[in-house]
Amino acid sequence: MEIIRRCARVLFFDLQVSVVPNIEILREAGVPNAKIASFLSKEKHDFNPVSLKFVIAFQTVSSMSKSTWEKKVEVYKKWGCSEDEILVAFEKYPWCMMASEHKIMRVMEFFVNKMGWDSSFLARRPILIGHSLEKRIVPRCAVYQVLLSKGLIKNINFNLTNMLKKPEKWFLKKACQLS
């Protein structure tokens, strides 16, 4: 719906003209056919080649050269992510490949080295790559660590990932409730 609100002409797209070339772009970027098929099948129920996620995925791949894509894949691999994990992360959150190599390095370094997370854990939560390190991730992780060290987080269902994903208003309310 979002894409239709932004650009109603998508209703008149010819799939052969608009989708097939985009699939070729994914193939040229090195995305295996099985992963393309998987992505398309996940969109199947409301298969809409112009759904926002679908469009973002194609836009992401088509906006960068094959060498840029490969460099970003190599950055994730340096942190221990497998190629399959990287492609699954891309399927979940295409924006994770829009981040610069430098941003990916900094976010992975923070979560793996400072927070002690496994890189595959982060690959399963690629939305975290999209958040600002300085404005959201570091400050919220610092609050989390303080609350944890003071024994204020006792609920085993408390989830740092949710704490990082939720809007500022929710985060402040939750942090105040815990302190």
Mean pLDDT of all residues in 18-29: 72
Domain containing residue 33: 1-63
pLDDT value at 15 more than 90: no
Whether 113 maps to a domain, the answer reads no
Are 36 and 88 in contact by the 8 Å Cβ rule? The answer is no
Whether 56 maps to a domain, the answer reads yes
* Half-sphere exposure of residue 37: CA atoms within 13 angstroms, side-chain side: 3
Dist. CA 90–CA 159, nearest whole Å: 23
Band of pLDDT at residue 72, cut at 50, 70 and 90: very high
Band of pLDDT at residue 127, cut at 50, 70 and 90: very high
pLDDT value at 11 more than 50: no
Domain count, the chain: 2
Q: How far is CA 97 from CA 44, 86, 88, 126, in A?
A: 23, 9, 12, 9
Whether 153 maps to a domain, the answer reads yes
pTM of the model: 0.69
**pLDDT at position 155, please?**
61
pLDDT value at 13 more than 80: no
Domain boundary among 39, 63, 87: 63
pLDDT value at 67 more than 70: yes
More confident residue, 111 or 18: 111
